[in-house]
Amino acid sequence: MTPLLLPLHGIGGRQDLPVPFGLAVGGAAVAVALSFVILGLAWRNPKYRGNESGKPLPSAITRTVDAGWFRWVVRLVGLAIFLYAGVALVFGVDRLTNPIFGFIYILLWVGLVPVSILLGPVWRTLNPLRTLHLLLCKLLRQSPSKGLLTLPPRLGLWPAALGIFAFTWLELVAPDRATIPVLEAWLALYVVITMFGAVLFGDRWFATGDPFEVYATLMSRLSPWGRRTDGSLVVRRPLENLDGLKAQPGLVGMVAALLGSTAYDGFSNSSAWVGWAQNQDISMTWLGTAALIVFILFVLVTYSGATLLAGRLSDSSRTTLPGLFAHSVVPIALGYVIAHYLTLFILEGQRTLIYLSDPLSNGANVFGTGLLAVNTGITNHSTAISVIQVLAVVGGHLLGVISAHDRAVALFPRHKALAGQLPLLIVMVGYTAGGLLLLFSS
């Protein structure tokens, strides 16, 4: 891990070559063509039933997953993992061999995505702060759902959206972000705010105010696992799972923060941005902060504008439309995450697992991984990586278009549904073309 990589990411930047221009252009062309095919030929009546859909899992699996003992095993495993990482944070040395950097920036932030897609909303149970709050409530003989105040519904997911901005600022912009004091300060603030919110509003705060839990829950909407409204555990098509995501205040801000920050990450690696920023009199911190805000606001404004225009074109003008279509941006954000963080996760994830055997950098080998080396074989397959990245962006786009189409035919009058989809389709094509351009330029 070289110091050269530090300005680009929390502990490293994308570790693969730029996508070939021809492949990027080809991906954009395919996205445009298939988008209009979907628009013109897809179904005209809604087919997704959201939280009402799904095939029940065998009762033995449901009983095990819902059993109190099983949930406590998962909770305590999650708590133990984070307490172990906390040892490295509090007592470890301030250098890059400390596993806490990779644990937070790679295993937690990036790793939440594959874990949530493979296992569903498991982070609700693994969340160590939720477990600590539950233990504290049991000790005080208080209901975990009871807080000092009632959580205002209009607050929605806005606290989590602000938390996502704060974390991505730490990861991508903050000076000395790969140092123990800076990471300790951010995590201490996060813990205080999250636990204070739980005391004030009860455990519902974690589902709306904890940025990591909300992020993981959004991504888990693309998993095949879910629950019906009656609480039964089911397996269902991921897009039906996604369709069950309910509109609420702050949801648009949340998806804008996720997509905009990931796009900024790719942009900040581009030679054009780095060269321009280095020639300015303004500090890189201020420039990076401004650019990160601009990217998030760009997504927020363009998406909201497109959905509001869609309402006008379909004679269904409603200010709630941005929230009702926000679920369709989640696959696009997932495509961005896969494209930008795939090799980073594979390479730095290995390095972090190696370093975790020696949390105090004193020569320990707790898990027997300390003497292993990072397998960098994936870097020898640059063409395959580029193809995967383009497929991720284009695939995320197409899933978003399909989700938006199904929601449009459910909300808009039949004779206006086609026209109503055009503004959002154009914006989605723009996001996809922009994502492919970032892969080419960075």
Domain boundaries defined on the chain: 3-441
pLDDT of residue 313: 80
pLDDT at 8 over 50: no
For residue 17, pLDDT beyond 70: no
Mean pLDDT within 19-40: 85
Q: Does 129 have pLDDT greater than 90? A: yes
Classify strands 55-56 and 225-227 as parallel, antiparallel or unpaired: unpaired
When the pLDDT of each residue in the chain is averaged and rounded to a whole number, the result is 92
Tell me: pLDDT of 1 over 60.
no
Q: Is pLDDT of 116 > 50?
A: yes
Query: What is the C-alpha separation between 157 and 164, in angstroms, rounded?
Result: 11
SS3 of residue 286 by DSSP? helix
pLDDT single digits (tens) 36-61: 888 878 888 899 988 888 999 999 99
Looking at residue 368, its amino acid is G
Closest Cα to residue 351, out of 77, 85, 100, 5?
100
Whole-model pTM: value is 0.93
At residue 425, the pLDDT reads: 93
pLDDT 10s digits, 199-252 = 999 999 999 999 999 999 999 999 999 998 888 899 999 999 999 999 999 999
pLDDT at 15: 54
* Maximum distance among all Cα pairs of the chain, rounded to whole angstroms: 70
State the pLDDT at residue 311.
85
User: Sorting pLDDT into bands at 50, 70 and 90, what band is 180?
Assistant: very high
Question: What DSSP assignment string belongs to 1-32?
Answer: --GGGGGGSSS----SPPPPHHHHHHHHHHHH
